[in-house]
Amino acid sequence: MAARRKYLNYTTPWGVDLARVATAGWTPFLIHESGYQPALENWNHQGVDSPFWRFYYNPKPGCHLVFQGRKIPLEPKNAVLIPADTVFDCVGPVRACHYWLHFTTNRPGVSFSAEPMLFPVDDTMRGLLTQLIDTHQTNTDGHRLLHLASALLHVVFAKLDSPAQTLPERLSEVLALIARSPHTKLTNHFLAERAGMSVERFIRSFREHTGQTPAAYVLSTRIRLAGEALALTDKTIDQIAVETGFPNRHYLSRMFARQVGCGPAEYRARQRERKGR
């Protein structure tokens, strides 16, 4: 007979239970790109507007961002975190010594202002940034860059004064289901059943906490995931339509163009041709 195992509890009476914090907090970082250029000659881009987040750090002064008429200097003592859908200008009067991260994350049920945020670069951040830049300049080890970049983002997000989570746990689980299984038939009845509510109560509660109807939230999530797949994979548009819950590529194309402003094929082509940072 096998010996009885001990110490199987995931928590103790003395620690802080973080499982609920994790499920109600930010989604894991999907890091699209880590980059470093010591002397970009033309770092001037107007109307930068991306569906993903950005992290900027310039080891040398001289460049800045412009957001709603406000100048945001990029200096060695500060880093900038830029949420998705923030519109800003990059201004480079001098050659830009520039480190950047492009990544996706979100916090279901919590709205976040689309504006750049300045962070003082403390010793922890500076150490990680030094290692990231050194790695880019030496061997460009993708695995090392991924782990260092993840560590950097965790340090930055630990400094965020995040809004309090008011989303009930049952709705939080529904939002996680929508993101995890967009290909399923996510009807109001099905989602209400998963939340343990009547359909009417579910729709009312969902709108109260997210500002959207369940159907609108499901569609926007499917569009976002389809956009990520178009940009980051070589899957066909037909495959992406099926995997993100659209009946066919034609319906995906119509809904995508309505929300994004162009069709899936054009969106993918723009992603592959894009040279700006």
pLDDT at 276: 44
Side-chain-facing half-sphere of 93: CA atoms under 13 Å: 8
- Domain covering 26-158, topology: Jelly Rolls (2.60.120)
**In the chain, domain spans:** 26-158, 169-273
Of all residues in the chain, the percent with pLDDT exceeding 70 is 92
pLDDT for 63 beyond 90? yes
Per residue in 223-273, pLDDT (tens digit) is 989 988 998 889 999 999 999 999 999 999 999 999 888 899 998 888 776
- Measured between alpha carbons, how far is residue 71 from residues 30, 67, 141, 256 in Å? 29, 7, 35, 34
pLDDT at 275: 44
d(C-alpha 71, C-alpha 199), whole Å: 48
- What type of residue is 194? R
pLDDT at 277: 40
Q: Is the pTM of this model over 0.75?
A: yes
- Measured between alpha carbons, how far is residue 35 from residues 38, 129, 133 in Å? 10, 11, 8
Per residue in 179-206, pLDDT (tens digit) is 889 999 999 999 999 999 999 999 999 9
Contact 50, 90 (CB under 8 A): no
Token pair belonging to 154:
């965790």
d(C-alpha 61, C-alpha 63), whole Å: 6
Token pair belonging to 257:
């163009």
pLDDT at 114: 86
Tell me what the mean pLDDT of segment 211-226 comes to: 92
Range with the lowest mean pLDDT among 2-6, 19-23, 90-94? 19-23
Per residue in 165-184, pLDDT (tens digit) is 567 888 888 988 898 899 99
Per residue in 121-136, pLDDT (tens digit) is 999 999 999 999 999 9
pLDDT at 25: 66
- Based on the number of CB atoms within 10 Å of its own CB, is 179 exposed (0-12), middle (13-18) or buried (19 or more)? middle
Contact 221, 179 (CB under 8 A): yes
User: 1: pLDDT confidence band, cut at 50, 70 and 90?
Assistant: low
pLDDT at 231: 84
pLDDT at 98: 97
Per residue in 150-161, pLDDT (tens digit) is 999 999 999 987
What is 169-273's CATH number? Answer: 1.10.10.60
pLDDT at 162: 66
Per residue in 7-51, pLDDT (tens digit) is 778 888 888 877 766 666 677 788 999 999 999 999 999 999 888
pLDDT for 54 beyond 80? yes
d(C-alpha 244, C-alpha 225), whole Å: 7
What 3-state class would DSSP assign to 118?
Answer: strand
